Structure 1
Amino acid sequence: MVIKQDPPKLELGQRIELEYYRGTVRFLGAIPSTKGEWIGVEWDTDDRGKHSGEHNGIQYFTCKIPGTGSFTRPSPNIQVGQSLLEILKERYVDDELTAEDLYLGETNVKVDVYDFERVKKKNSQLHLMQIVGLANTNVSSAANFEETQKACPEIQDLDLSSTLITSWQDLADIVAPLSKLTVLRIK
């Protein structure tokens, strides 16, 4: 039995991921002469966009970099992000993670890890982690302050580059419980 998922609820300015591309929602609504609802997205890279927010001579949104916009339909394939703790647990504690799932950073280079189970066990101890790389993940929000503080009190270096964080306030909420944080990478 296949369970049909509904598309996520979106807001203007929200960061999304679709087919491994990240972008920002710039338009939500109908477009005359077409059926249904549309999402206007300004993509982070210029190889995904097709225009700058216009359709049939009407400007629906603007892009900082020309040619990085496109329209897409609402879809359950659109990812809207998860909390820092959800992503940490998924990436480092997931019991189903295997050596075949490991890649080097944001590349497509597969990593062969000697004694994978030992490395996995060590990394799953979030409370001991000091350096955490979550670049190109779907981190978008903070989890409960106390829960985050308890789960990962030792984080000193955190990479949140190219995530789905929408605002400076979201970023502040994410890092607030990390009292030992001295290095934060974002771009």
Structure 2
Amino acid sequence: MCRHQAAKYQAENQTFGRAAQSAQRGFSLIEMMAIVVIMGILAMVAIPSSMSRIIKEQITAALPLADIAKAPIATAWSLSQEMLPDNAAADLPSSNKVVSNFITDTKIENGAIHMTFGNKAHPKIKDKILSLRPAVIEESKVVPVAWVCGNAKAPDNMTVKGENKTNIPDEYLPRLCR
């Protein structure tokens, strides 16, 4: 009886062992397809968010170029309460000479600074414009000029000068420019 039970036990273990071995051989086609679908979905979600981040970084990296125009505009306002009409009045080179890795043109128009993206800029923002406009308190020239980036709102009690020509979609603008 003991031998009979031992033989039965051994036969059951061999059957179970074969089943376990065949289950461990690899992925079935369905399992592999599920993994491919999940990876595809993750890639579709990751690529646009990565693109948006890259564009925002390029816009942020381009902003310091406007600093060379901000100083003469602020000085003109504090001295005469007037906005500079163009690059020449700010003693800056022509707009196509004020460039950087991501900017092909920096133009002053009635105090506003308009930066056109190009060169190494992402194709989604190539030939798009970001405006930086001065915000002032008209009755007081001692209050420093604040700068309004893109579609952002002006600080309370301040008047924004110049036209906003920003045509970059808000989804690509850094927070300070929305």
The structure with the largest helix share of the pair is: 2
- Give the TM-score band, short-chain normalised: under 0.3
Normalised to the residue count of structure 2, the TM-score between the two structures is 0.25
Normalised to the residue count of structure 1, the TM-score between the two structures is 0.24
The structure with the largest strand share of the pair is: 1
